[in-house]
Amino acid sequence: MSSANLTRAETAARARALDVHSYRVELDLRGAVDARRTGFPTVTTLEFTASTDEAWLDFIGDSVESVTINGELVPVVYDGARITIGGLKEINVVTVVATGRYSRSGEGLHRFVDPVDGETYLYTQYEPADARRVFACFEQPDLKAPFTFVVTAPRRWQVLSNEAAERTVQRDDTQTVTFAPTQPISTYITAIVAGPYHRVDASWSRDELTVPLGVLCRASLAEHLDADEIVEVTRQGMDFYAEHFDYPYPFGKYDQVFVPEYNLGAMENPGCVTFTEAYVFRGAATAAQHQGRANTILHEMAHMWFGDLVTMKWWDDLWLKESFADFMGAFTSAEATKFTDAWVAFANRRKAWAYLQDQLPTTHPIVADIVDLEAAKLNFDGITYAKGASVLKQLGAYVGRDAFFEGARRYFRKHAFGNTTLDDLLVELSSTSGRDLSSWAQAWLQTTGVSTLHLDESEDGYEIVQSDPRPHRLAVGCYDPDDSGDLVRAHRVEVDLADERTPVDLPEAALVLLNDDDLTYAKIRLDARSLATVESSLDRVREPLARGLLWSALWNATRDGELAVDRYLSMAARFAPHEADIALLTAVLANAAQAVEHYVPDSARTDARRRWLDAVWEGMHGAAPGSDAQLAFARAVGVAAGVDDRHAADLRSILCGTVAPPEGLRLDPDLRWSWWAALTTTGDADEADLDEELRNDDTASGRTAHLRALASRPRAEVKAHAWATILADHTLTNDHLDATIAGFRAGARRDLISAYDADYFAVLHETWTSRSIEIARRIVVGLFPAADSLEPVDTWLEAHADAPAALRRLVIEQRDHLARDLRVQRINTP
């Protein structure tokens, strides 16, 4: 095992032996504007007590120049990931002088040069363990300490960290900023942001507390920064959490920075939250996109308490912060902002992610067994986030809202700036609710899998039948047509389930919806009468959440091979144009496109592609001009037209301006690139077309889209070049790697890339060991062959039983996706 892959056992031993008092980290970023400089000077001074005479510091960089222990310069013992420090006393001061490396992968200190104006931007991203790529540290969440950052950078730059600047010294063209010491925090949530960022200032106040707010983005994106809405949501979140958590915001200021080439949606660095630039909308954006951004803002804000103020001891309890933040993001959106339908999107997008992850052979309990960092990196998944949030929603229904929030308040007060495990939280929730939650925790947090619920009707009445029984509290809704023909809920009953079969007293109804209001975590199956009602009248279900649960049931049944894929696609084509909730519409369009490519048998796929393209084409032309639905259908056209050229001439005419787009449709740069990529993939556009489009949009997004489209050209030599670039060009940024992989895989011409299947398995192990976890993961997942047989992957797994566990997990998951595809295709073959 590489020394970079820290284990739970060794870090626990280090935590028992050390108590860290403070860090002082000095970074010299003056050379960042010179692309020839790959590294930067970094100096760390740590003060700590020790009950051992030897330990190690974590650092991954270019070099370590010197190590000083208690005033004595000692020989450097460094293996590329760990610096051994010996001769320790009870009280120690250690200084490490080193050279870090600017990142192109989004891990550590990422450097980006804006093609619009040539400006250089820096930001850090550490979770779970990449602070060590910037400064020497004890890289584990339970060795918290106050941090003082000192950053030297170009004078005209914005320089930010977790706390406000305490002192700035300017000399000629440079500045040295010393930041106020932080509260005791973990290494992975420290942060540095530097560059000529555009900044909007505001504030939030409550009682005697005033929190300065900052919203920042690259200067070339300033015109697109919707600062007013971002600040509004931020203030609403601060109000809500102040009231419900009853613990003052603990980190002074609150900056939110939208950064380029970001690997995540966002990161909860206290006082300096970073977000993907995808939330700075360059063109038209649907209400669902605005809601998604608000949800993420509130998710990260919840982390200021769940995760930053109180932090898990080790990554086993990652859910303690991520499940709560995911739950609070939707909960607060629905209760405190204009996005009152946030639970609709949660039910269809977030829970779909959880259901998918929980049915893989690599599924794990919400409280997972994380033995090392490689395992931790892969557990930022649908179970830790969305299943955990779903289970917390169930817990809220089980213990009651008041007890739930009072338990959280006690948890914050008792463990502020400390580290916790599951038991610490359960103690507080059990106390406030008066319930023993140990059996609930065992059933929901320490087991795997998702229950499936269906209604069984007999002469004696109705029973709810569940597979994989767990305790559920759920609602059952009975729907019948009203005088207008709309399907409305005429009866609702709440039921507690524990066993495989539970009697329930229900009236006869046109539609019976199990788990109405989405109180629990389970897949539902529709009975025959309800399915017939849905198939004829889904658009007449008035409530968006109920429609969302029905769409979810249809999709799960399709993925499981229990609903014919043709029936799902027919319902999608029929009802999508009438779907009023944009989050639901977006999900349906994405699911239908996936069904065409993954679940329709090969023999029927050409026809299915054409029919689906016609459906979204008609949807785009039939939607209200300028509406969110029109934009959603236009984006779906970009996906569908990449595998069928029926409307290629029409798209080209619109893009070239010889034919007007549908009334109200704004051809913003992202939509234009989507359509050009589709045309390129089918051979109906060439490099000259793409180059001309790039001249009109020579931005970071434009260059990434251009790269993807170039790699999608349906020629053997293009695919060969893309393959070689992906594996050999280590200078590719994370975004450009993704774009090249997507272009390589794009389109219906699998014959152009099937020759690389054997090469994929031949380079797997080398790719994993020679690249960072983040980059290796993208390659392993992105290039997995969509073959018609499981034999090659099974052969590799059998021959590589001793491969790193995280690598095997990724391959096993991709195998399971392929196995599901092939199984559902067989079921749907006449």
**Residues in Cβ contact with 717 at an 8 Å cutoff, skipping those fewer than 6 apart:** none
CA nearest neighbour of 534 among 556, 565, 560, 567: 567
d(CA 302, CA 289): 20
- What's the burial of 36, exposed, middle or buried (CB within 10 Å: 0-12/13-18/19+)? exposed
Q: How many angstroms separate the CA atoms of 360 and 378, rounded?
A: 13
> Which residues have C-beta within 8 Å of that of residue 117, sequence separation ≥ 6?
219, 220
Cis peptide bond upstream of 128, omega within 30: yes
DSSP β-bridge partners for residue 454: 465
Q: Which residue(s) pair with 137 in the sheet?
A: 58
Kindly give the residue spans of alpha helices, DSSP state H, lying in 746-790. Answer: 757-770, 773-782
Query: Do residues 445 and 423 make contact, with C-beta atoms less than 8 angstroms apart?
Result: no
DSSP letter at 163 equals S
DSSP string of 765-777, one letter each residue: HHHHHHS-HHHHH
Tokens representing 205 are: 């106040």
Q: Could you tell me the sign of the dihedral formed by the alpha carbons of 640, 643, 649, 652, in that order?
A: positive
List Cα–Cα distances, 689 to 220, 464, 655, 671, in angstroms. Answer: 25, 58, 10, 15
Residue 799 and residue 808: Cα distance in Å, rounded?
11
What amino acid positions are annotated as catalytic residues? 300
Phi, psi of 192 (to 5 degrees): -135, 135
- C-alpha angle 224/743/611, rounded to 5°? 90
Three-state SS for 176-229 is: EEEECCCCCECHHHCCEEEECCEEEEEEEEECCEEEEEEEEECHHHHHHCCHHH
Cα–Cα distance measured from residue 794 to residue 812, given in angstroms and rounded to the nearest whole number: 9
Instruction: State the first-to-last Cα distance of the chain, in angstroms, to the nearest integer.
Output: 49
Distant-in-sequence, close-in-space partners of 801: CB < 8 Å, separation ≥ 6: none
What is the Cα–Cα distance from 204 to 242, expressed in whole angstroms? 11
What is the helix (H) or strand (E) element at residue 612, kind and residue range? helix 602-622
Kindly state the helix (H) or strand (E) to which residue 511 belongs, with its residue range. Answer: strand 511-516
Q: Across the strands, what pairs with 481?
A: 487
Which amino acid would we find at residue 556? N
